[in-house]
A and B are shown apart, each in its own frame.
Chain A
Amino acid sequence: MKVDVEGTLKRIESYKGVIGTIVVNAEGIPIRSTLDNSTTVQYAGLLRHLAAMARSSVRDIDPQNDLTVLRIHSKKYEIMVAPENNYLLIVIQNPCE
């Protein structure tokens, strides 16, 4: 089971265009990250609140609904945030065309 987790994460990190992957827990502590510490902390701090806000907005409109992925497409790259009950998976990808 643990191998599966590792394998999954390693697979995600090795996809084309993926710049970085961060796993954050409910308290904002980065469990696993491929980026340096300061960047990780910054991403974790900023995106946690944003994802929570997005999730609550979706559920406010329709309580049966829930947030699956929050995609932030910026000029340089795309940040994808996927929330789960206690953890947050953040992937930064450069959509290469």
Chain B
Amino acid sequence: MEIVHVDTKLRREFGPPALFSDRIEELLLDLHPDPSLAAQFIQKTHRDQAVQACRQMSEHQINTERFQSNSCGLNHVEGGWPKDINPNEMEQTIRFRKKVEKDDGYINSILQLGSVMEHRIKQNNSIDIYQQYFDEEEEVEEIQEPPSAKTINVFRDPNELKRTITGLSWHPDGGRKLAAAYSCLEFQKTSRNTSLDSYIWDIENPNHPEVTLKPASLLVCLDYNPKDSHTLVGGCYNGQIAYWDTRKGSQPVEYSSMEHSHRDPVYKIIWLQSKTGTDAFSASTDGQILWWDVRKLSEPTERLVLDPSREGNLDRALGAISLEFEATMPTKFMVGTEQGLVVSCNRKAKTPAEKIVCTYDGHHGPIYALQRNPFFPKNFLTVGDWTARIWSEDIKESSIMWSKYQMSYLMDACWSPVRPSIFFTVKMDGMLDIWDILFKQSDPTLSLKVCDKPLYSLRVQDNGRLVACGSQSGEATLLEICSGLSTLQKNEKSLVAAMFERETKREKILEARQREIRLKERSRSEQSKDDETGREDDEEDSEQLIAKVESDFYSLVEAEFRRRQRREETPQVRR
């Protein structure tokens, strides 16, 4: 169908008729490019662009649903008897057997098999064909492979709203179970729907936790009883202590009474060595350390207020974040505080004032982890702010060894139970660091990125090979350390002992020097006070000092700034 458009116009509105004629061309304008203008333009670099006409495609990844496998055993029952014989009747079975024994085939077979078997038995009896040659020498051969660790399993929080794993504890017998305390330590981040459960996982089964613990409030920390592997004690977010027996179910057997518990979340709870095996002590940021007997949780057996002035004043008390207790030294224990002090205490002191023996000041922030070296109890490891520090009990002024300031906050650390020179740390960027102080002191020997979320807790199993770390999203990752990092090397103990002694001596010398300098200054300032009249001069001196320091600071900053500018200019000039 043709689409016709009709346009009408009156005849008289046409203009004069157009008379067209041919004409020769004439050049009206010829504009040449001006080469002088070319200097103002830069030629663009060639660009190769490939173009293709093809079908649109998209990438899509899928993952199968987790395959749930269940292990079970098989029970073999007697069977295969012909229908007419009842296997339970002795007579029938004996008759059947006698009949078979008379069979020709049976006789031939047995004779054959008998000779074959006799040959093998005699062989076994004469020499051990499976003997291992060169057994002793094999141990000496060590292939120096680079240190490594691999993830074995990841245990995920089964609830929708994920909570942070703030506490981990290995089962004392063989370490086949891992107890994890789930809580949310961020201020007011817990919603009504957050599940309060904490779980005990069997390390072979990451699909489903083995035991669920149901406290009344989120559990911040928990600990397995080293003497009785069925009992656990846990500290809650509301300050109460709860005691579980896994044989009795998920609900706690007993809670501590609200009036006598902590006023702040219980950050750490540890079982004590005692004759009854029922004592534990807990620490919290309200400044109290409470001792409990789990048979009677209505009231703590003992109380200590962490007041550095030793008056027991709760207002001035330091908040406790971590505790340390070594079974070999049952009367002493140490507390790591929010203010960065480590307080060493003696449990058996007569008066509360004497309970606090001494303090170690070293960190700028809360001390998240504190542990004595299992081989050298006089040295302990602390982790807080962005460093990890190793201390000796005798040196109170500063730590004997420390790492450099790391890029992210260190959250937890522990020594390896099998090697005195290895310790593990976890950081807020999800990295697990393994430090070997005999190998390298400035950097970790092995750094692994465990997950993208911050790691909050860490525990090494007693055999030194398995490490569990807990993250903010409720994932507990189980890693296996290579044998090079988990087997005791020759001379390791003596080397580490020598290193600690050397560093301790160095600190002692430095301390002595500091003391000397201070004494000299004091005597000098006393002399100057006697000579001149007074404090005004001292004040002026301090004012002058401040002015001098300021001018020094500014001149340094300007010099650095100028240097940077110069550096930026030079590459341009070079081109």
Q: Is B110 within 8 A of A89, CB to CB?
A: yes
> Which residues of B have CB within 8 Å of A58?
none
- How far is B81's CA from A27's CA once the two chains are assembled, in angstroms? 8
> Which residues of A have CB within 8 Å of B118?
8, 11-12, 15
Q: Is B110 within 8 A of A73, CB to CB?
A: no
> Which residues of B have CB within 8 Å of A59?
none
Q: Closest approach, in angstroms, between the C-beta of B310 and any C-beta of chain A? A: 61
A61 at interface, CB cutoff 8 A: no
Q: Is B110 within 8 A of A29, CB to CB?
A: no
> Which residues of A have CB within 8 Å of B113?
82, 84, 87, 89
**Closest chain A residue, CB of each to CB of B96:** A29
- How far is B417's CA from A79's CA once the two chains are assembled, in angstroms? 40
Total number of A residues with any Cβ neighbor in B under 8 Å: 42
**Closest chain A residue, CB of each to CB of B121:** A15
Q: Closest approach, in angstroms, between the C-beta of A48 and any C-beta of chain B? A: 9
Interface string of A31-58 (1 = CB under 8 A from B): 1100001000110111000000000000
Q: Chain B, interface size: which category? A: 20 to 34
Q: Is B128 within 8 A of A80, CB to CB?
A: no
A85 at interface, CB cutoff 8 A: yes
> Which residues of A have CB within 8 Å of B117?
12, 69, 80, 82, 89, 91
Q: Is B76 within 8 A of A45, CB to CB?
A: yes
> Which residues of A have CB within 8 Å of B106?
5, 25, 31, 86-87
17 further A-B pairs in the complex, CB-CB below 8 A; given A5-B107, A17-B121: A5-B106, A12-B121, A23-B110, A27-B80, A27-B81, A28-B80, A32-B97, A45-B76, A69-B116, A80-B121, A82-B113, A84-B109, A84-B113, A87-B110, A91-B117, A97-B128, A97-B131
Would you mind naming 19 contact pairs between A and B with Cβ atoms under 8 Å apart?
A: A4-B107, A4-B111, A8-B114, A9-B114, A11-B114, A27-B80, A27-B81, A28-B80, A32-B97, A41-B76, A44-B76, A45-B76, A78-B124, A80-B121, A84-B112, A87-B106, A87-B113, A97-B128, A97-B131
Q: Give the interface of B toward A (CB within 8 A).
A: 76-82, 96-97, 100-102, 105-107, 109-114, 116-118, 120-122, 124-125, 128, 130-131
Q: Give the interface of A toward B (CB within 8 A).
A: 1-2, 4-5, 8-9, 11-12, 15-18, 23, 25, 27-29, 31-32, 37, 41-42, 44-46, 68-69, 71, 73, 78, 80, 82, 84-87, 89, 91, 93, 95-97
